[in-house]
Amino acid sequence: MVRKSDDGTLFASAMRRSRTLLMTLGIVMIIAGAGAIAFPYFSTLGVTVCVGVMLIIAGLAQGIGAFSQAKWTGTLLGLIIAALWLFAGGYLLVRPLEGVFILTVFLAMIFLIDGILKVNVSFRIRPKAGWGWIFFDAIASVVLGVLLWWQLPSSALWALGIIAGVRVIVSGWTLLIVPIAVGRIVGDKSSTRNTA
Residue 4: is its pLDDT beyond 90? Answer: no
C-alpha radius of gyration, the chain, whole number: 21
Contact 44/25 with Cβ under 8 angstroms? Answer: no
Distance (Å, whole) CA 161 – CA 11:
32
User: Could you give the 3-state DSSP secondary structure of residue 152?
Assistant: coil
Decide if 67 is inside a domain: no
Q: What is the pLDDT of residues 135-162, one digit of tens each?
A: 888 898 888 888 878 877 766 777 778 8
Q: Which domain holds residue 120?
A: 4-41+96-189
Q: What is the pLDDT of residues 109-138, one digit of tens each?
A: 888 888 888 888 888 877 777 788 888 888
Residue 136 CA, chain-centre distance (Å), reads 15
pLDDT at 195: 53
Q: What is the pLDDT of residues 49-77, one digit of tens each?
A: 888 899 899 899 988 888 877 777 778 88
Decide if 71 is inside a domain: no
Decide if 68 is inside a domain: no
Q: How many domains does the chain have?
A: 1
Decide if 145 is inside a domain: yes
Contact 174/136 with Cβ under 8 angstroms? Answer: yes
Decide if 118 is inside a domain: yes
57 DSSP assignment: H
Decide if 35 is inside a domain: yes
H-only helix segments in the chain:
4-17, 19-38, 40-66, 72-94, 96-125, 131-150, 156-195
Looking at residues 152-179, what average pLDDT do you find?
81
pLDDT at 28: 93
Residue 188: is its pLDDT beyond 60? Answer: no
Distance (Å, whole) CA 147 – CA 55:
26
Decide if 154 is inside a domain: yes
